[in-house]
Amino acid sequence: MAFHDLRSFLDALEAEGDLVRIHHEVDAVHEIAAHIRRSSDTDGPALLFEKVRCCGVRAAGGLFASRRKAVRALEVGAAEAVEKFVRAMEAPIPTRRVDSGPCKDVVLTGNDAGLTGFPICTYSELDSGPFITAAVAISRDPEDGGRNASIYRFELKGPHRLGVLAEAPHHLGIHIQKAEQRNVPLPVALAVGVAPAVLMATQWEAPYGVDELGLAGALLGRAVEVVRCETSDLEVPAAAEIIIEGRILPGVRETEGPFGEYTGYYTPAYPKPVLEITAISHRRDPIFQAMLTGMPTTENHVLKMIPMEASCLVNLRRRFPGVTAVHFPGAGGVGLMGVVALKVRAKNEARGVLATMLGSQGNKLVIVVDDDIDVLDMQQVMWAVCTRCQPDRDVIILPRMPGWQLDPSAPEPGTYAVMGINATRPVGEKFGTVARVPGVESVPPFR
């Protein structure tokens, strides 16, 4: 059974011993984050915080504290997760409008629609305040109405006010730009506590104008049911725990940040757009979802892995059909480092893969290995680097390449040098034979 909402996923994790309820009272300032951090660092469980000091609403966190849970969310084996995503990307299922749903159990408008009742967490030590980090922000292109759904962070600035980091080329940033050009507010709805497939679908690198909720439908095997908002024409997942409706005010900027980001470093404070809350609706006894980011690897990184690997795999295979797997390890913040497995067919093919990755993805370090290497196992990957690569011949360094904004070592933001390592065996030449022990697979597990 696909997980159509947050609760069914939590139930499955609990039944499998992969969810722990925290019964003692915890603080939304750092304490929830500390628990998620510990779980992330120890391949630990998802957490359900039954009592949060600030308010009567429960919080869930660490849902993607390990890749195992992201794979579980897709209901496939570890080896099939990326391919399931690839297939879904090719056959999206549009959303289905319904009249009502659980997210409308309680509807608050006007002054009642305040955020003080929700356990919005403060994460890293120097963060400027509490942030909503697991909200799917839904908005429409002010010109053609095309929908976008993706995760953006929102800083709590007051009971009815959130700051947002959303800049072009990210799609919400484009919507904000277009609305500001017309000097009109941009309606935005935040869905908190949604089906895990919806969260994962948002991390697909979908072209502008493509609705991420359609991919979520394909992952779930049926259309995501959506209901109309109270204060705008936007449609939001009916099964969400909490919907926060609002509008981004044209031309308004307020300081947001600093915030401990996915690179493991803080991003500085600077003025950003503001979302003014117009309504909040939620389930009875809602569960607020917290999501930790910061020093890799956290649930933020894990959530992005499979979608980004699937997007990259599809792109690479168009040019290099021999590519069998891609992995973006947590250590690179999921994207600064990429590992590609290739069934090499032609001389220098691996160099072509390296150049493509280095020139188009913002990857700072790319390693190409043969297809006998498990890209998820960095022990095997580094073994291949050590035994199948000669640095003077097999390392490519390109200076001054376009890259991510957030690399603290970059000489100027968005520009850095990149490195590719060809750790594949030479084609058509004699090479050492890998020593293997026969019969390992038939030995039963010891524990």
- By CB under 6 A, name the binding residues for ligand FMN: 133, 148, 150-153, 165-166, 170-172, 202-203, 205-206, 291, 293, 300, 303-304
To Mn ion, the closest distance from the beta carbon of 171 in angstroms equals: 4
To Mn ion, the closest distance from the beta carbon of 149 in angstroms equals: 7
To ligand FMN, the closest distance from the beta carbon of 358 in angstroms equals: 20
Pick between residue 335 and residue 420 the one whose CB is nearest to ligand FMN: 335
Among the listed residues 148, 203, 278, 422, the single contact to Mn ion using CB under 5 A: 148
Which entry of Mn ion, ligand FMN, none binds 263, CB below 5 to 8 A by partner kind? none
Size of the site for Mn ion (CB under 5 A): 3
Q: Are the C-beta atoms of residues 136 and 149 closer than 8 Å to each other?
A: yes
**Contact range with Mn ion by CB under 5 A, out of 166-174, 225-233, 251-259, 280-288:** 166-174
**Contact range with Mn ion by CB under 5 A, out of 65-73, 78-86, 154-162, 167-175:** 167-175
Helix (H, G, I), strand (E, B) or coil at 420: strand
Which entry of ligand FMN, Mn ion, none binds 203, CB below 5 to 8 A by partner kind? ligand FMN
Q: What are phi and psi of 307, to 5 degrees?
A: -60, -40
* Closest C-alpha among 346, 364, 374 to residue 402: 364
Strand partners, 48: 21, 60
**Exposed, middle or buried, 433 (CB in 10 Å: 0-12/13-18/19+)?**
exposed
For the chain, counts of helices (H) and of strands (E): 11, 25
To ligand FMN, the closest distance from the beta carbon of 77 in angstroms equals: 23
- Calpha distance 353→401 (Å, rounded): 16
Q: Give alpha helix (H) positions in 149-296.
A: 171-181, 196-201, 212-220
To ligand FMN, the closest distance from the beta carbon of 165 in angstroms equals: 4
SS3 letters across 370-397: ECCCCCCCHHHHHHHHHHHCCHHHHEEE
Pick between residue 128 and residue 177 the one whose CB is nearest to Mn ion: 177
- Calpha distance 62→8 (Å, rounded): 16
Which entry of Mn ion, ligand FMN, none binds 40, CB below 5 to 8 A by partner kind? none
Q: Which residue has the tokens 């925290």?
A: 22
Pick between residue 162 and residue 213 the one whose CB is nearest to Mn ion: 213
**Is 171 a residue that touches Mn ion (CB under 5 A)?**
yes
Burial 208-238 (b: 16+ CB within 10 A, else e): eebbbbbbbbbbbeebbbbbbbbbbebbbbb
Pick between residue 279 and residue 406 the one whose CB is nearest to ligand FMN: 406
- Binding to Mn ion by CB under 5 A, coded x per residue (else -) over 191-210, reads ---------------x----
To ligand FMN, the closest distance from the beta carbon of 385 in angstroms equals: 29
Pick between residue 190 and residue 423 the one whose CB is nearest to ligand FMN: 190
Helix (H, G, I), strand (E, B) or coil at 412: strand
To Mn ion, the closest distance from the beta carbon of 81 in angstroms equals: 21
Q: Which residue has the tokens 């794979």?
A: 71
Pick between residue 206 and residue 314 the one whose CB is nearest to Mn ion: 206
Q: Contact positions toward Mn ion, by CB under 5 A? A: 148, 171, 206
